[in-house]
Chains A and B, each alone.
Chain A
Amino acid sequence: MSQIVSFVTSSIGRKLVMAITGLLMIGFLVTHMSANLLVIFDPEGYNAYSHALISNPLIYIAEFGLIALFVGHFVSGFAVTLRNRRARPIAYGENNGAGHTSRKTLASTSMIISGLVMLVFVPLHILSFKFGTWYEAAGDPHVRDLHRLVMEEFQSPLFVMWYLGALTFLAAHAWHGFGSAFESMGVSHRTWIRGSGQALTAILWVGFCAVPVYVYFIAGGGS
């Protein structure tokens, strides 16, 4: 037991926790994004999908799992960041990237910031939608008309901007996080792993942003 504790609290252990939770969350985002696209292409299908999810009792387990991933990822990340900050108490007078083979990007240097944005965004997002107004679907009063809520929420330009901003932080986080996760797990750095992660991230970003953009500019005529 003490060995598990010392492993999980070691920096490699913590990075491993972050890598596994992070990759699982990216996996979740892929399904989440795919389902979101139904808002655009199949509103009824969207409501049916959400109904299928929330009427399945296993959803509680899944939700608990997601919360655990999120909290585990955050706690590990925060602990690692604190340790990292302590490792360099005095900043350089001048600090530039080395270029050359470095993979340092704005995204990689701001992981803690994009992570903290998610810490704020995710609960608010759940409040807005999971715990938002419960409309009954026209055809079946037992089915929630989540589509209507989506259409209403993204009428506000400020809300749309907040979403687009937050999603960009999310994408930045995954842009570095995906490749980094594999390296933390001990998989040798390969350009194709980093590249696929970045391609996936770009797809996620476009897919997630599509809904607010579609609702605000095209479907809702909210101008």
Chain B
Amino acid sequence: MSENQSYTIRVWRQDDAQAAGKFVDYDVKDVSPDASFLEMLDLVNEDLTRDGGEPIAFDYDCREGICGSCGCVIDGVAHGPLPGTTTCQLYMRNFPPGATITVEPWRASAFPVIKDLVVDRSSMDRIIMAGGYISVSAGSAPDANNIPVPKPEADLAFEAAECIGCGACVAACKNASASLFTGAKIEHLARLPQGQAERARRAQRMVETAEAEGFGACSNEGECEAVCPKEIPTRVIQRMNRDYIRAYLKMI
């Protein structure tokens, strides 16, 4: 086990959506390299509390990389320096001792800041609302094995379905585009026989909802894929483009 280290963190502090925010520096002393990044923030918050200051607000829940609650831009990269991980899965040993670490919220007009590092991601829920489902009411389903799905297709559907809805793709995209998120759901359901009936409507409604929510367009740079904790490939975006274009071709 290696020795404890000290760091400086530069954290974005902002009271609410209307307030102007600014960076504030905090010294963090004596942190175990085995502490997670969020546990380090917990320590800072406990010290702040004891001194009567307001703790840094940040979202988290499961702390095992599956719920998608946590997420901030760390040293200019969404979810920090390690690929394929969420913020909660970063450990202090992933940072050089003595480093100054910059911590910011996701920035997008579709993700207004609630407080400090906490943003409102309900715009992503509204994209799902617009068609990210198969319309089947409880009790009406046929026997599960009546619908065979070739394993390769099922695996590809699964790969897209792994999305945890954290919003890192939006945060990393220079256009704050939600294409990877939207595409992942379109791809997941388009791969399955159950998803065919609503496929065109789904693509059309989801894409247009994303636009109405103020997300940008895709520039095909692939930053989203590079920061995605589940490493969802950009082919899901191309699927979204195909299905959207097809939806209109059918109408005309």
Contacts and interface: CB of A to CB of B under 8 A. Distances in A.
- Complex contact flag A–B (Cβ < 8 Å): yes
B138 interface: no
Contacts of A96: 75-77
Interface stretch (A8-16, A21-29, A135-143): A8-16
B238 A104 contact: no
Given A84-B175, A87-B214, A189-B234, A97 B107 contact: no
B216 A102 contact: no
A87 B175 contact: yes
B238 A92 contact: no
B107 A104 contact: no
Contacts of A91: 107
Query: Which DSSP category, helix, strand, loop or mixed, fits chain B's interface?
Result: mixed
Interface stretch (B31-39, B127-135, B140-148, B221-229): B221-229
Contacts of B109: 86-89
A84 B174 contact: yes
List 5 A-B pairs, minimum CB-CB distance, nearest first.
A186-B242, A96-B76, A87-B216, A11-B217, A84-B175
Given A16-B245, A93-B104, A84 B234 contact: no
Contacts of A94: 73, 75-76, 102, 104
Interface residues of A, number: 46
6 contacts: A12-B207, A12-B240, A15-B218, A83-B216, A87-B216, A88-B109
B211 A11 contact: yes
Interface of A: 3-4, 6-7, 10-16, 80, 83-84, 86-104, 108-109, 111, 176, 179-180, 183-189
A116 B179 CA distance: 26
B248 A3 contact: yes
B156 to A, nearest CB: 11
A92 B208 contact: no
B168 to A, nearest CB: 9
Given A86-B216, A102-B225, 19 more contacts: A11-B217, A11-B218, A84-B177, A84-B219, A86-B109, A91-B107, A92-B73, A92-B76, A92-B107, A93-B12, A94-B75, A98-B226, A99-B83, A101-B83, A102-B223, A103-B222, A104-B222, A184-B241, A189-B235
Contacts of A95: 73, 76
B166 interface: no
A212 B238 CA distance: 39
Interface in B84-117: 102, 104, 107-110
B26 interface: no
A109 B220 CA distance: 11
A104 B238 CA distance: 17
B36 to A, nearest CB: 20
Given A3-B252, A187-B238, A189-B234, A98 B104 contact: no
B222 A10 contact: no
A89 B216 CA distance: 11
A108 B219 contact: yes
Nearest to A94: B76
Most buried by A among B76, B177, B208, B216: B216
B146 to A, nearest CB: 30
B172 interface: yes
Contacts of A15: 217-218, 241
B73 A108 contact: no
A88 B174 contact: yes
Nearest to A180: B220
A83 B251 CA distance: 26
Nearest to A7: B248
B245 to A, nearest CB: 6
Interface in B158-208: 172, 174-177, 207-208
B50 to A, nearest CB: 28
Interface in B1-22: 10, 12
A88 B242 contact: no
B239 to A, nearest CB: 7
B173 to A, nearest CB: 8
